Amino acid sequence: MSRRHPSPSKPLFDMNLTAISDLTFLLLITFIITFPMIEQGLPVKLPDGKTQEIDAHEKTSVVTIDKEGRISLGEDSLTLDALAQALSARLAENPKLSLVVRGDKEADYGKVMEVVLLARRLGVEKPLFATNGRE
């Protein structure tokens, strides 16, 4: 009795990877298109005005103040004391942290200034203000 062994040059099975690679590229394109549209923090109506562009390679933190005076750092809603602790921790990791302040155009100016003064007191050199880019 002789046993048949598969020849080493012939694969045991053939898997078509075309569908998987098509799906991968489709997901990649979807993320490339939608990622710039994602906003951080609470939804706000930004004030009109031109501002300086920030360096895309620089790591930034975004603080948002909505028209009700709620504060968020990224996606987390915080009190002013919790914001101070969170910013202190981020500044310990990166002393040259860039902070973008997104204040709703209907927000209380005093609340926005509290956040800016807190950031300056903690060591943020130049807090940046987000606008919608129209003058």
pLDDT 10s per residue in the chain (135 long)?
556 665 666 666 777 778 888 889 888 888 777 766 565 555 665 555 555 565 555 678 888 888 888 898 888 888 999 999 999 999 999 888 888 888 887 888 888 889 999 999 998 888 877 777 666
For residue 106, tell me if it sits in a domain.
yes
CB 63 within 8 A of CB 115: yes
Name the strand (E) or helix (H) holding 112: helix 109-122
CATH number at 103 reads 3.30.420.270
Per the structure, the complete domain to which residue 120 belongs is given by 60-129
Distances (CA, A) of 110 to 12, 47, 67, 125, 128: 72, 15, 12, 20, 17
DSSP code string of 25-71: HHHHHHHHHHGGGPPPSS---PPP---PPPPTTS-EEEEEE-TT--E
Domain count, the chain: 1
For residue 95, tell me if it sits in a domain.
yes
